[in-house]
Amino acid sequence: MWEQIRSNQIRSVVLVIGMGALLVLLGYFLGLYFFGSAIGGLIIAIAIWLIMSLVGYFQGDSLLLTMSRAKKIRRDDHPRLYNIVEEMKIASGLENMPDIYIIDDPSLNAFATGRNPKRASVAITSGLLEKLNRDELQGVIAHEISHIKNRDVLLMAMCSVLLGTIVILAWYGSRFLFFWQHGRFQKKVFVRGGGWYSSNNSSGSGTCIHDTGTDYGTICLSGDLPEEGIPG
């Protein structure tokens, strides 16, 4: 068992290092391409990651519970669930009692959240409460309490933030790249009659497309605007 735990810890470290390296490389190449400076891209990437990490660290649990529409309960609201969580808290050796939330959802699901054992919460769906008996529910709560005790929740939250930063940079970077390339070729747009003229300074070749309709116009795409103008 201890060998498996050690193996999982090594894999977690490798995962975090790999995602961090991917973030650095992405920032490096985006900065090099758009700003001509790799340092600028690295600074932007790290700044976005830091801001998202701070939000995730201090408010991640609140955001997750709010998005899940979880409702906090006390002992009187659901005595059986409260007693089970309390039992597992004592058995695990946690100093603080996790907050307990119920999500009004028929699906079978439960999760733990919180940046440390002193600020932790356990959320469970109403469907799970209805379908499981006490022993089965105790097993689910024990699993979630183990996540809190081993700080798996914090690791998952920070990895999610790191992955989210990579996705944001890649998404916006790809779109800026598209419009950047498009803008280098499409320099001018002229409108006359029912058509438009766009110059392509890099190609020098042209194509004329005739259009009929309420306003007859000729659309000419060329490297240089004809001296006589766009035929109308």
Separation of alpha carbons 137 and 139, rounded Å: 5
In the set 86, 144, 227, 228, the catalytic residue is 144
Task: Kindly write down the DSSP assignment for every residue of 67-82, as one continuous string.
Answer: HTTEEEE-TTT-HHHH
What are the CA-CA distances from residue 30 to residues 99, 103, 129, 184, 222 (Å)?
43, 41, 49, 17, 32
In the annotation, is 144 catalytic? yes
Q: What does residue 141 show for φ and ψ, rounded to 5 degrees?
A: -65, -40
**Cβ-defined contacts of 105-109 (< 8 Å, 24+):** 108/132
Burial of 5 (0-12, 13-18, 19+ CB in 10 A): exposed
- Which of the residues are catalytic? 144
